[in-house]
Amino acid sequence: MATINDNYLKLKAGYLFPEIARRVNAFAEANPDAKIIRLGIGDVTEPLPEACRTAMIKAVEEMGDRNTFKGYGPEQGYAWLREKIATHDFQARGADIDASEIFISDGSKCDTGNILEIFGHDNIIAVTDPVYPVYVDTNVMVGNTADANDKGEFEGLVYLPITADNNFTAEIPSKKVDLIYLCFPNNPTGATATKEYLKAWVDYAKANNSIIFFDAAYEAYITDPSIPHSIYEIEGAREVAIEFRSFSKNAGFTGTRCALTVVPKTLTGKAADGSDVELWKLWNRRQSTKFNGVSYIVQRGAEAVYSQEGQAQIKELVNFYLENAKIIREKLTAAGLSVYGGVNAPYVWVKTPNGLSSWEFFDKLLQTVNVVGTPGSGFGAAGEGYFRISAFNSRENVEEAMKRITEKFKV
């Protein structure tokens, strides 16, 4: 009989978001008349920008003509898209990133998991707590951990607590770690990182020959000019960091799938014989073998993000969700709840009231006001007692949800 990968058995019964969906679906079936408002999963709700739609329609028409039809594209992405990304997202901010160091993919979620394939199993891996669950679960899946303890922490990972006491920014570890996951603006807390803070991490990584996995999926929500959008704005980051970005949250590509990963050619890791190996070559080999690239149609849509019209439209889209976040933050604060984030990020991180656990608050919101959020404990042990509310929804739904919550949960 074929054997299985036993590492999957270490995982909790369900990934956080499917478990949320299970509970919501069960409630909806039992209460068919309930008008449920979903502010849990970070999925966008507003239409794709017109510039992107127009470019995609044109690309579809091209696919109907033998002279302009496109088959397999480059696994790394079309050069015309990579060059625009390099110019607008990195070089314009003083980050020395070349188009050849950018890999187009179908999602930063996929890439943050797949990147582990080019690293060994003997690395010491650090994650913040709370943390985006994919970072932890994919390490479990590939065999980088032992079993979880009673708090859900997996042996083999170094957990870096982020709390209100440290402004939800982890302290630099006192011992050496090899791989470090950082996410800014942070999911789930909405915290941001200053240049000084990121410089401390880059210096640590250089001193310890570590690699930083920098998830910048929400960088478009940064409005404070002093906050860096990319870790490559920090001197020395090219030698220690891989960055992940997405078109999902700035341009609404959650349903069309387009993202990118930056692997600088100056970044190296150690082989078993002690020699230095260029990580770009390994990732390029992985992508060329296991990935056939993002569709031509979608890449043309992503390219349109960098047009004058596209830039104006995604700015309007981002500002719409930021206004939602502001409404959530201000209404919950006025109700007496302790609220964090929601300023340079689309997520609001709330302290659960009256000593309720994260899942108790989830169930209470669902059952009493028919509003769905995300339990903080689902992001890690240190997330217990907190709750994430997403700004990704219509203005009408956000305002109605806040009305329901504040009327029921005034502190």
Peptide bond before 185: cis, by omega within 30 degrees of 0? yes
Q: Was 404 annotated as part of a binding site? A: no
CA angle 239, 243, 249 (to 5 degrees): 165
Q: Please provide the DSSP assignment of 99-163 as one string.
A: GGGEEEES-HHHHHHHGGGGS-TT--EEEEES--HHHHHHHHHTT----B-TTSPBTTEEEEE--
Q: Was 25 annotated as part of a binding site? A: no
Burial class (CB in 10 A: 0-12, 13-18, 19+), 169: buried
Calculated CA dihedral for residues 96, 102, 106, 112, nearest 10 degrees: -70
Q: Was 388 annotated as part of a binding site? A: yes
Q: Was 156 annotated as part of a binding site? A: no
Q: Was 109 annotated as part of a binding site? A: yes
Q: Was 358 annotated as part of a binding site? A: no
Secondary structure (H, E, C), 14-53: CCHHHHHHHHHHHHHHHCCCCCCEECCCCCCCCCCCHHHH
Q: Was 132 annotated as part of a binding site? A: yes
Q: Was 255 annotated as part of a binding site? A: no
Q: Was 15 annotated as part of a binding site? A: yes
Q: How far is CA 102 from CA 29, 89, 245, 277, 280, in A?
A: 45, 11, 10, 18, 10
Dig out the tokens for 179 from the structure: 């791989």
Q: Was 296 annotated as part of a binding site? A: no
Q: Was 257 annotated as part of a binding site? A: yes
Peptide bond before 130: cis, by omega within 30 degrees of 0? yes
Q: Provide the 3-class DSSP secondary structure of residue 181.
A: strand
Q: Was 78 annotated as part of a binding site? A: no
Binding site feature residues for pyridoxal 5'-phosphate: 72, 108-109, 132, 187, 218, 246-248, 257, 292
Binding site feature residues: 15, 42, 72, 108-109, 132, 187, 218, 246-248, 257, 292, 388
Binding site feature residues for substrate: 15, 42, 109, 132, 187, 292, 388
